[in-house]
């Protein structure tokens, strides 16, 4: 499988990690890729840890297992860092993107010596500023696109504009805020 990129999402039920993985699949599909987007279904309830996955490739994808050695990991909720082994199997040539304001020292400790790149973003601040509410999935989507370079910033913004128009057809007032959240996140995700 040529250029296969595997991504694992960690979030809590209700934060939209599953939706973010589906939006990422959608956006990558629109740039001509082969994609998979699927959550690991369990007894979902609000606040419970959930996992979702993406595979993105320039050739057809046949494998249908969960992802055990991801290129990238996205952590939507930093309270998971101490309870879930988020770097399990994560390739050292890859990266982890965390929604957090915690210190680099703390992250180093909870990531158990992960040697790949670590990126952080304050998705709460971005979301509250852009949307007036805490929906971390939109900024996290932009952050993983920026870090993984699956597509350019412009491709993402262009595609998401179309998706939001469709998704929020009944509440167009939130489109602008979501677009702003994406733009801010693309600028604010940083390597530590």
Partner 1 sequence: MSIRERLSGNEAAAIAMKQINPDVVAAFPITPSTEIPQYFSTFVANGTVDTEFVAVESEHSAMSACIGAQAAGARAMTATSANGLSLMWEMIYIASSLRLPIVLSLVNRAVSGPLNIHNDHSDAMGVRDAGWIMLFSENNQEAYDNTLMAHRIAEHKDVMLPLMICQDGFITSHSIENIELEEDEKVKEFVGKYQPEHYLLNREEPIAVGPLDLQAYLFEHKAQQAEAMKNAKKVILEVSEEFEKMTGRKYGLFEEYKLDDAEIAIVCMNSTAGTTKYVVDKLREQGIKAGLLKVRVYRPFPVDEIADALSHLKAVAILDKADSLNAAGGALFEDVTSAMYVKEKYVPAVNYVYGIGGRDTKADDIEGVYNDLSEIAKTGKVENPYRYFGLRKEAK
Q: What is the DSSP string of the chain?
A: -TT-EEEEEEEETTS-HHHHHHHHHHHHHHTT-EEEEEEE-SS--TTSEEEEEEEEESS-----S--SS-SEEEES-GGGTTTS-TTTT--TTSEEEEE----HHHHHHHTTT--SEEEEE-HHHHHHHHHSS--THHHHHHHHHHHHTSS-HHHHHHHHHHHHHHHTTT-THHHHHHHHHHHHHHHH-EE-
Q: Name which of 89 and 172 has its Cβ closer to partner 1.
A: 89
Q: Name which of 7 and 189 has its Cβ closer to partner 1.
A: 7
| Min dist. Cβ of residue 105 to partner 1 (A) | 35
Q: Name which of 25 and 121 has its Cβ closer to partner 1.
A: 25
| Min dist. Cβ of residue 29 to partner 1 (A) | 5
Interface with partner 1 (CB under 8 A): 1, 22, 25-26, 29, 34-39, 41, 60-66, 68
| Min dist. Cβ of residue 9 to partner 1 (A) | 14
| Min dist. Cβ of residue 8 to partner 1 (A) | 13
């Amino acid at each position: 499988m040529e250029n296969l990129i595997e991504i694992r999402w960690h979030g809590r039920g209700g934060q939209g990690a599953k939706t973010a993985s589906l939006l990422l699949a959608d956006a990558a599909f629109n740039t001509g890729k082969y994609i998979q987007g699927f959550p690991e279904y369990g007894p979902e309830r609000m606040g419970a840890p959930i996992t979702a996955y993406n595979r993105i490739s320039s050739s057809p994808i046949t494998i249908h297992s969960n992802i055990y050695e991801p290129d990238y990991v996205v952590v939507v909720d930093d309270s998971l860092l101490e309870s879930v082994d988020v770097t399990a199997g994560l390739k050292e040539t890859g990266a982890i993107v965390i929604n957090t304001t915690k210190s680099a020292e703390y992250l180093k400790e909870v990531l158990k010596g992960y040697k790949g790149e670590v990126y952080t973003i304050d998705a709460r601040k971005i979301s509250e500023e852009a949307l007036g509410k805490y929906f971390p999935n939109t900024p996290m989507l932009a952050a993983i696109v920026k870090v993984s370079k699956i597509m350019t910033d412009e491709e993402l913004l262009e595609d998401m504009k179309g998706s939001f128009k469709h998704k929020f057809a009944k509440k167009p007032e939130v489109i602008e805020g979501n677009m702003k959240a994406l733009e801010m996140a693309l600028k604010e995700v940083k390597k530590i």
